[in-house]
Structure 1
Amino acid sequence: MALNLIRIASHEAENPVGCSLKEAFELLEPKLRPPLAITIPTPQEYLLLNKAILYGVLCETHFAKTHIKHLHAIVIDGYGLFASLIATVVNELYTKLVDPVKCQLIWVTKEMIDVQAVGIHGLLVCFLRQIVGGDFSDGNLWLCFEIVSIFLTKWDSLLEVEPMILTSGLYTYLPLLADHYRLLSNPKLEALKQLEIDFCIKVLREQFSVCLKIGRDLVRLLQDVVHIPNFRATWKDLVLNQDKFKTPGFSVISQLYNTRTSSQYILLRISPEMETQLRFLLTCVKLGSQKRYQAWFAKKFLCAPNRETLIVDIVRFICCAHHPPNEIIQSDIIPRWAVVGWLLKYCTKNYVQANVKLALLYDWLFFDERVDNIMNIEPAMLLMVYSIPRYIDVTHTLLEFLFLLVDNYDVEHKDIIIRGVSSSLRVLVKKGVICSLDVLTSCDALSPVLKERLDRFLSGAELEISRG
C-alpha cells in the first residue's frame, strides 16, 4: 500500500504539487506494474509518466527500484525533468513530507547523482536550503547528516558533473559547524561534526580554486570556525602559506576581499519559506503596520533556542539578496534598514550581536564602486542616520563597530579596509543615499570621541598613517 506523501491538517487545503503527482500516479498506475510496456511517449505523456514514477518512488518504497528501472528505460532528457520534479517537491513540500518519504528523497537523489542527471546542482541546493541554522531538532540534524554524507560518498561523481556544488556545500556547512560546536553537551552531534569537518577541510584543501568563487564571505565564515582545532592549520596556510593550496594565481588572502559574494550563496542560508515571508514583509507591509508581521515571523523562525544565529543570515540576505526597486524605496513600505534595526534589537547574545553587525557592515570594508553594489551598504548607512536622535545608541554602536573593524579586522591589510570604508562613505553621498555626512559629523547627540574619529577618517589622515 502506498504511503501518504505529506501531512495535511484538517483545516488545510490539498497541496497542488502533491495532488499533481498523485493524480498522475493514479492515472498511470496500471502501466507502472511489471511487465512494463515501453513506448515512445508524447511530451505530455512523458511529463505525466515522470510524475507518476516519482510518486511511486516516494510512496511505494517496496517498488522503488522497479520504478527507477522504468525511469531508466524511458528517459530521453538526461533525467532533467525528473530531477526538476524532485527539486519542486523539496522546495515546496519538504517540511510537510512524512518521514519515510524524506528518506526516499535522499535515496532517489543518490540515484540521480549516479546517473549524472541534468540539474543535480540545483537539486542539491534545494536540500541545502532546507537545512536551518540554529535548529538542533532531530529532523534537521538528520538532514544535515544525510546531505554532508552525500557530498563525501559521491565526491568523485559531483566533482565530475559540477565542481561548483562543492562550494555551495562549503558555504552551508561552515556556519552549521560553528553552530554545532557551540553546543558541546549533545552527543548526537559528535559524528555529524566530524563529517562536517572532513567535508569542509576536503573542499578547502583539494578544490580551493573553486572556493575562490565564493568571494569575501568565505573569509567571514572561516573566521567563525578558526577556533576548531582542525581548521587552525588551514587558516594559518591561508594567511601565510598560500602555495599549499596549489592554486595558480592565488598568493594572498586579500584576493578574496576583491570578489563580492554572489546572492546565490547568500540564499543558501535562507529557506524558501523564510525567503517568501521576508520578501512579503519588505515589499507589501507599510511602515507603521509591521509589528504584527514581525511578531509572527519571530515566533515562526526565531523563538526556538539557539535560533538567534539565523539573524546573521537574514541580515546578509537583506543587504545582498533583496534589492527593492525605486518604486518600493520611494513608497511607504517598511524599508530594509528598519527591519535590520528590529533584528539587531532581537539579539541577546553578545557573539550574535557582533556577527550581525559584521554581516551588516561587511561589504563596507572592501567596497569598490566598479564591482560592488551600493544596495549592499545602504541599509547600514540609513540605519545610522535614521536612528538619530531617538535611537542614538544604535548609531553609536554601529559607528564604534565600524571603526573597530577598521582597526582590527585585518591589520596586515588595513589600507584595503580604510579604502573600502572611505569609498563606501563617498559613494553613499555621491549617489544620494544621504545628502551629506554632516548628519553625522554635526550631530550634537553623537559622542565627541566618535565625531573626532569620523572627522579624522574623512580627512584621509588614516589612510596616510596606514601606508606609513
Structure 2
Amino acid sequence: MGSRLIVGAPHEADNLLETSLREAFELLESQLNPPFSLKCRNESEYFDINKAIIYGILCEPRMGNVHIKHLHGIVMIVDELYEKLVDSVRVQLIWITLEMIDVSAIGFQGLLVALLRQIVGGDFSDKNLWLCSELVRVFLAKWDCLLEEEPLVLTSALYAFLRLLAHHCRLIDFCVRLLREQFRLCMMIGRDLVRLLQELVHVPEFRSIWKDLMLSPSEFKVPEFRDISQLYRVRTSSRYFLLRITPVMESQLRFLLSDVKFGNHRRYQVWFAKKFLGIAEKETLLIDIVRFICCSHHPPNEIILSDIIPRWAVIGWLLKCCRKNYVEASVKLALFYDWLFFDEKVDNVMNIEPAFLLMVNSMSRYIEMTHTLLDFLLLVVNNYDTERREIIVHGVQSSFDVLVRRGVIQSLDVLISSDKLFPFLKERIVKLLSERKVTSLENFQAGSFRGSTSLPDLPAAVGMEPGTFQHEMSASASQNDVELGPPTNVTSCSPLAENDDIHEQSLESLVQNLGKHIRSSKQMGVQALDKILHLYVNLSSKAETTNFSISLDQLSSIIAKEFRYSGNQLFD
C-alpha cells in the first residue's frame, strides 16, 4: 500500500514513523467520527489515538475540522518526516498550526519552533521559500494571540527570520514590527540580537533601527533600556542557536562530536559537507553551525577526555570550508563573540574554549590558523565598538583569565612565548593583557556613555573588506578537510591532580578549590561539596563571628557555577 503521507524512493524501506501513524489510523478510524467516546484512556491508548488523529488530519483534509477537535498533544511529526512530506500534507500542516493556535492547543509553540527549524538558510527552492512565506503569514495573522499566549515564540521567529533575511527571504515587515513594537520582548534574545542586526545594516529599515539602537535608545519606548551595552551583558540562550540548525543536521553534528574518533573523521566530514554545504549559497550556514557548536553542544568530561574528535578541530575544518572572505569573517566573529563580553557570573567557559584550543593546538602544524584567529581577535577588540572598547577589553581579559583558572590551559605562555608566533602579534596580545584591569562591569551601567555624533564603525564581520585576512580557497569538500592533528599538551578542562586532603581543608579553601575537585573526579567533587555544606551549617549555627563572610546566595551561586563549568547542571 502506497503512503499517503510521505514520498519515498523505491529502494527505501518503509518508514517506521509513517507506518506507525498509518496503522494507528486504520485501527482506530471508526473512533474518529462523531459521536466521540468520553471514556478515559490509558497512556498507550491515548498515544495511539493521537497518532491516528495526526494521520487523519494530514491525509484527510475534508475531515480536518472533525479531527482537530480530538487533538490535544504536541505534533512531533515535523522533526522526522517534514523533508519527505507530500505537498498536500505540508499545506495541511500549516492549517493545523493555525487551528492549534486558535484553540491554544497544548504544544502549539513546539510545533511553530519545529517548523521554523525546517527553513534552510541559503536554500532558494520553491518549497523552502513557500514554508518561509507561510510561517510569516502565520505569525502576522496570529500576532495578538501569540503575544498573549506564547510571547517567547515570537523571539524565536525574530531570531530565525533575521538570519534568513541576510540570505534571501523577504521577512522585513514582521521583524521590523516586532523590534519597533515589542523591543522589551526582543531584548530577551540577548547579545546575539546585536550580531544579527549588524548583518542587516545595509537594509534601509534596519539601518534606521541600528541608528536608534546606538544613538536614540528611547525610540524603542522601553524606559529601562538606555544603552546597547545592556544587550552585550545578556548571554543568548542556546535554544536560539538550535533554530538555525535543522533536526537532521543537529543529529549528524552531535554524532560527529560524540561518536567519531579523531583520525576516522574525514569521511564523516566529507559526507556532511556534501549533504548540507554542497552549494555555494549554503555557505552562510557555517556561521550558525559554529555558533551551535560553541554555545549549544557542551560535551561531558568522558567525551572531552576521550579520543573523540574535539569541537575545536571541527571548527577548524569549518573555517577551511569558507570560500568567501566575508563569510569567513562572520564565522570568526561567531567563534569569538562571547569573548567580547565575557562575564564569569553569566557566561560559560565552554562557549569560549573552542577558539582558544583551536589557536593553541594549531601552532605546531598550522600556525597560519593561529595567526589569523589571533589577528582577528585583536582587530575586533579595537574596532568592534570603539565607544565601548573598555567593555570589550574587559571581556577578552576575563576570557583569558578564566581559561587559565579553569584548567583549560596551565599558562598563557604556551601562546605568547612561542617562537612560531609573529612578534608583532605577541606584542599586541601582551599589551592587551596588561591594560588596566576593569574590576567590575558596574562601571559601565547603562547611560554612562555620552551619545556619539555619528554611527560607530561597522564591526569587522560586517564591514570587512575582501582580502583582509589571508584566505585559503578550497575546490572540494575533501580538499577543505583539514587535518589539524591530535591535541598536544592542551586539553579541554582536563582533570587536575589531587594535591591535598579534602577533609583537612578550611571552608574558604574548599570553596576556592571546588572547581579543581570537581574536575579531578566525580567522587572528589561530591566529597568537597558535602564538606562545604557541613562546615557552612556548623559555622552559621555559631554565634561568634568567623573570618569567612559569605551569604548563602553567594555560596549557592558559586557551587552551581563550578558544577556548570564542569558540564553538570544543578537545580535553580
- TM-score, normalised by the number of residues in structure 1: 0.91
Task: Tell me the distance in 2 between the aligned counterparts of 1:24 and 1:383.
Answer: 50
Task: Tell me the distance in 2 between the aligned counterparts of 1:146 and 1:100.
Answer: 14
Task: Tell me the distance in 2 between the aligned counterparts of 1:119 and 1:248.
Answer: 33
Contact 1:175 1:221 in 2 (8 A): yes
Q: Which residue is equivalent to 2:337?
A: 362
Q: Secondary structure of 2:426's match? A: helix
Q: Return the match for 2:366 from 391, 405, 409.
A: 391
Q: Deviations over 1:274-315 (max 9, x none)?
A: 010001000111111100000000001001231110000000
Task: Tell me the distance in 2 between the aligned counterparts of 1:118 and 1:213.
Answer: 23
Q: Return the match for 1:290 from 265, 283, 300.
A: 265
Deviation (angstroms), 1:153: 1.0
Indicate the larger mover: 377-386 or 40-49: 40-49
* Aligned amino acid, residue 50 of structure 1: N
Q: Deviations over 1:32-86 (max 9, x none)?
A: 34x53443342344433322222111011232223235x2xxx6xxx3x1xx1x2
1:128 aligns with 2:127: no
Indicate the larger mover: 168-177 or 18-27: 18-27
1:149 aligns with 2:124: no
Deviation (angstroms), 1:267: 0.7
Q: Secondary structure of 1:270's match? A: coil
Q: Deviations over 1:239-264 (max 9, x none)?
A: 11111211131111110111111111
Q: Secondary structure of 1:269's match? A: coil
Q: Deviations over 1:162-199 (max 9, x none)?
A: 1111100000000100111xxxxxxxxxxx51xx1000
Deviation (angstroms), 1:401: 0.6
Task: Tell me the distance in 1 between the aligned counterparts of 2:219 and 2:184.
Answer: 12
* Aligned amino acid, residue 56 of structure 1: G
Q: Return the match for 2:163 from 164, 172, 175.
A: 175
Q: Which residue is equivalent to 1:323?
A: 298
Task: Tell me the distance in 1 between the aligned counterparts of 2:310 and 2:56.
Answer: 46
Task: Tell me the distance in 2 between the aligned counterparts of 1:282 and 1:38.
Answer: 48
1:53 aligns with 2:41: no
* 1:337-356 paired onto structure 2 within 5 Å: 337-356=312-331
Task: Tell me the distance in 2 between the aligned counterparts of 1:355 and 1:6.
Answer: 37
Q: Which residue is equivalent to 1:382?
A: 357
Q: Which residue is equivalent to 2:8?
A: 8
Task: Tell me the distance in 1 between the aligned counterparts of 2:117 and 2:86.
Answer: 18
Q: Which residue is equivalent to 1:425?
A: 400
Task: Tell me the distance in 2 between the aligned counterparts of 1:452 and 1:364.
Answer: 20
Indicate the larger mover: 2-11 or 137-146: 2-11
* 1:431-450 paired onto structure 2 within 5 Å: 431-450=406-425
Q: Secondary structure of 1:5's match? A: coil
Task: Tell me the distance in 1 between the aligned counterparts of 2:36 and 2:414.
Answer: 76
* 1:31-180 paired onto structure 2 within 5 Å: 31-33=31-33, 35-43=34-42, 44-69=44-69, 71=70, 79=72, 81=73, 84=74, 86=75, 88-180=76-168
List gaps (5 residues or longer) in structure 1.
181-191
* Aligned amino acid, residue 14 of structure 1: D
Deviation (angstroms), 1:112: 0.3
* Aligned amino acid, residue 6 of structure 1: I
Q: Which residue is equivalent to 1:183?
A: none
Q: Deviations over 1:305-326 (max 9, x none)?
A: 3111000000001100000111
Q: Return the match for 1:301 from 251, 276, 279.
A: 276
Q: Return the match for 1:333 from 308, 312, 316.
A: 308
Task: Tell me the distance in 1 between the aligned counterparts of 2:11 and 2:40.
Answer: 39
* Aligned amino acid, residue 350 of structure 1: N
Q: Which residue is equivalent to 1:186?
A: none
* 1:257-268 paired onto structure 2 within 5 Å: 257-268=232-243
Task: Tell me the distance in 2 between the aligned counterparts of 1:399 and 1:173.
Answer: 31
Contact 1:3 1:60 in 2 (8 A): no
Task: Tell me the distance in 1 between the aligned counterparts of 2:437 and 2:323.
Answer: 33
* Aligned amino acid, residue 370 of structure 2: T
Q: Deviations over 1:71-116 (max 9, x none)?
A: 2xxx6xxx3x1xx1x2x10011111111111111111110001111
Deviation (angstroms), 1:370: 1.2
Deviation (angstroms), 1:361: 0.3
1:211 aligns with 2:198: no
* Aligned amino acid, residue 9 of structure 1: A
Q: Secondary structure of 1:132's match? A: coil
Q: Secondary structure of 2:419's match? A: coil
Change (3 A) 1:280 1:37: closer
Change (3 A) 1:284 1:3: closer
Q: Secondary structure of 2:167's match? A: helix
Task: Tell me the distance in 2 between the aligned counterparts of 1:392 and 1:356.
Answer: 19
Contact 2:360 2:415 in 1 (8 A): yes
Task: Tell me the distance in 1 between the aligned counterparts of 2:240 and 2:145.
Answer: 22
Contact 1:341 1:383 in 2 (8 A): yes
Change (3 A) 1:257 1:37: closer
Instruction: Tell me which protein shows more helix as a share of its residues.
Output: 1
Q: Which residue is equivalent to 1:416?
A: 391
Contact 2:353 2:403 in 1 (8 A): yes
Task: Tell me the distance in 2 between the aligned counterparts of 1:435 and 1:207.
Answer: 46
Q: Secondary structure of 2:209's match? A: helix
Q: Deviations over 1:348-407 (max 9, x none)?
A: 001100100000000000001111100000000000001113111110111111011101
Contact 1:456 1:462 in 2 (8 A): no
Task: Tell me the distance in 2 between the aligned counterparts of 1:137 and 1:462.
Answer: 51
Q: Which residue is equivalent to 1:221?
A: 196
Contact 1:209 1:247 in 2 (8 A): yes
Q: Return the match for 2:246 from 266, 271, 279.
A: 271
Task: Tell me the distance in 1 between the aligned counterparts of 2:379 and 2:45.
Answer: 62
Over alpha carbons, which structure has the higher Rg?
A: 2
Q: Which residue is equivalent to 1:22?
A: 22
Task: Tell me the distance in 1 between the aligned counterparts of 2:118 and 2:36.
Answer: 37
Higher relative contact order (CA 8 A, sep 6+): 2
Contact 1:347 1:353 in 2 (8 A): yes
Contact 1:2 1:60 in 2 (8 A): no
| Corresponding pairs, count | 440
